[in-house]
Amino acid sequence: MTNKRIYFDYLATTPCDHRVAEVVMKYMTERFGNAGSVDHVFGDEADLAVKQAAQQVADLVGARPKEVIFTSGATESINLVLQGLRTQGIKRIAVLPVEHKAVLDTCNFLEKEGLAEIVYLRVDSKGRLDLEHLEAVCTEGLSLICVMAANNEIGNIYPIEKVGSIAQKYNIPFLCDGSQAVGKIPINCNEMGITYLAISGHKMYAPKGIGALVVQRGNFLKPLIYGGGQQFGMRSGTMNVSSIVGLGEACRLRLLEMEVDEGEISLKRDRLQILLQESIPGLVVNGDIDNRLAGSLHISVPHIPNKAVIARIRHQLAISTGSACTSGIESPSHVLTAIRLEDRLITGALRIGLGKFISIDDVELAHQILMEAILSI
């Protein structure tokens, strides 16, 4: 067995693309101006770079550059929407029970404060959204719909265009967590009826600590952060120019390369799935296998504790037992609980995430490591 370490946890984070890192470094060391400095060319360069990045983000997701607010990541973007709307009388929010904790925990906070009533949408055993139930809930009145574009554990891709159509039919704002989907599947805010789209840079080969929120024109959010009034008054603070430029470059590259990359990733994912199914008795693939991210493979091995598997492979192969946001928390995954997965499958659940820098040799090696670890328990 080789001593090579391989990374198959792309749903937790992606390595920064070297081309993106080069641009980030340039704006950290050479073009380091403050985008808010209007009295010299250093500030002009930074301001121009931020505007270009906004255009690049907008091009990828079918929005206008003036609709792009740069944040520290999708968690801040989601909070900016959910908390930024609370003074506008939010009373009833429809939420997928498999949403990221950034959505669920913020909604729980609002409910405990008496600021919102949370209505949980129905999903089936594959995690698929019940669109009829969504529409029925809409007829009873809603202030906001929260449906993610793709799930961060089981990889399901949700019918965002249909959700957006229902939202528009009933004139309900639509918040979509796009952190796992942007740069992997086509998303067009205008065509899909998305009012607010949360984006995370480190899920698409950009740096950590940078993200964006697309706010459909005509909507305004009460800020969480006050200060200099930057970004149309919705998100004050000195602009993180280098990371913003990095996010823009990542979006530019995803627009150019996404289709080919995701096609190749899907083939590698399918190869790994077949190898594991052939060599590990009783293996179960979770989620909606007909509508999932190209790089997502969520499996369960009945009666084999996932922690025992991780303990054997953690120095060779990077995979996870669930979402990175809840890593270390001793409780069943809320996603797997929501889809009513059997306990024997929850305890044996493993999340595998593939990305563009994984080779077919890596796939073969990952299979060998996993197979040997599981069969040895």
Q: What is the pLDDT of residue 91?
A: 86
H-helix or E-strand spanning residue 192:
helix 189-192
| pLDDT, position 324 | 57
Q: Last residue of a domain, which of 221, 254, 287?
A: 254
User: Which pLDDT does position 233 carry in this prediction?
Assistant: 87
**What local confidence, expressed as pLDDT, does residue 322 receive?**
77
pLDDT tens column, 186-208: 999 999 999 999 999 999 999 99
pLDDT digits (tens, 9 = 90+) for 108-153: 999 999 999 999 999 999 999 999 999 999 999 999 999 999 999 9
**1 falls within a domain:** no
Domain boundary among 254, 276, 296: 254
Q: Which two tokens stand for residue 257?
A: 């390369």
Note the pLDDT of residue 96: 98
Does the residue 149 lie in any domain?
Answer: yes
Asked whether residue 173 is assigned to any structural domain, the reply reads yes
pTM of the model: 0.95
User: What is the model's pLDDT at position 362?
Assistant: 98
| DSSP SS3 for 67 | helix
Can you give the pLDDT at residue 87? Answer: 66
Instruction: Report the share of the chain in percent with pLDDT over 70.
Output: 96
Give every residue of the chain whose pLDDT is below 50, as ranges: none
Q: Give me the helix-helix angle, 101-112 and 74-84, nearest 10°.
A: 30
209 lies in some domain: yes
Classify strands 92-95 and 196-200 as parallel, antiparallel or unpaired: unpaired
Q: Final residue of a domain: which of 201, 227, 254?
A: 254
pLDDT given at position 149: 98
The CATH code of the domain that includes 343 is 3.90.1150.10
- What DSSP designation does 276 have? H
146 is catalytic: no
Q: Which 3 state secondary structure label does DSSP give 317?
A: strand
Is there a single domain that holds both residue 31 and residue 132? yes
User: Is residue 116 exposed (0-12), middle (13-18) or buried (19+ Cβ within 10 Å)?
Assistant: buried
- The pLDDT assigned to 4 comes to 87
Active-site hit among 16, 138, 176, 325: 325
For residue 364, what are the domain limits?
Answer: 6-15+257-375
